[in-house]
Structure 1
Amino acid sequence: MDPTRPFAGVPSPEGTPAVPDPGPLLRSASRGDQAAFAQLYDLTAARVHGLALRVVRDPAQAEEVTQEAFLEIWRTASRFDPDRGSPLAWMLTITHRKAVDRVRSAEAATRRDVTYHQQNQPVEHDSTAEAAHASLEARRVRGALGTLTPVQREALELAYFGGYTHTQVASMLDLPVGTAKTRIRDGLIRLRDTMGVGQ
């Protein structure tokens, strides 16, 4: 399998059984084994595409995100550290990051269009103040997210950007449900304290 070719016809994750441990295939792929990478793709494509589709909510965009994620997995397989999580969680984290980047890119394009139209219309003082407040609030949220630990941020992103339940987050990160809930709760507490909510 050529790891640079488009990944068309990605299967749907519905009804897909639990994915066996992709670790050995990932390790072989990290040494340039294209056959192992092809097997890794076949083993995990449904889960990767399912996550991409859940985030971007557009089948064509989800296939592109899936392709981008597998290309990065191929290029960076040697960087996978089993001490920091399961192979599947690492792959899904890459996928989630690519999907969120795609959503942000689309939102940025939409904002550019909106800005263009707003600049060609009279803008009232109140709407200017509201836009400034929203921009400051977004900056505060981004700053607060930066204070989270990597495991807290990963769990929060899956739960709130990805829209997954605690049980699904636990499954994707290969964690007990209680541990996933704790990471999400602790992350939310840190966000609240950093942003001064309720103070």
Structure 2
Amino acid sequence: MSLAVRLDTDGGEPMVADLAVDPAPDPRELARRFSAGDDTALEELYRDVSALIHTLALRALRNAADAEDVTQATFVSAWRGRDGFDPDRGDLRGWIVGIAKRRIADALDARSRESRRLAAVKDVAEPAVSDREADAVEIAYDIEALGDPRRTIVSLAFYEGATHQQISERLDMPLGTVKSHLRRSLMTLRERWEVNDAQAS
């Protein structure tokens, strides 16, 4: 048995299913059927190249769960974007690999953003850390005490990982104003936590 992609007839989304191993399909015929929206072509394509996609993702990400997510995301993107593939002008396998490389890049970028966000939080909160559970409550209380819009801006930045631009768009606020509020909020929190540390010692 091998994993393959089936379509949910209700939602039209690819799903993993178990299928018997079949001979490799004719590449040109498979490409034409896939481009035409034949869902059985998607299943055959998954059997044909999913192992390659998973291997590429695993080598780049070095995490099995992330590699599986990228593999699934690649075929979802391919199926949704099949209208953009011309079977007379390109190789389907190469096109799929190109999508996989973009999904891998997305995963690496997301991982990098998360690392930067955690580093920023640690840089702000580390001076106050003694009892982590108690400090988590204290930090949440201090952020709440900032009042809006600073409370919302800080929460979006550090709890949801939103970028300055995303916060600006979400709150309909100038980008410079968002940056200014965030900078002043962090200064306020740092000063408050330093005072608390001094009092505790």
> Which of the pair is proportionally richer in strand?
2
Q: TM-score, normalised by structure 1?
A: 0.50
Higher radius of gyration, 1 or 2? 2
Q: TM-score, normalised by structure 2?
A: 0.49
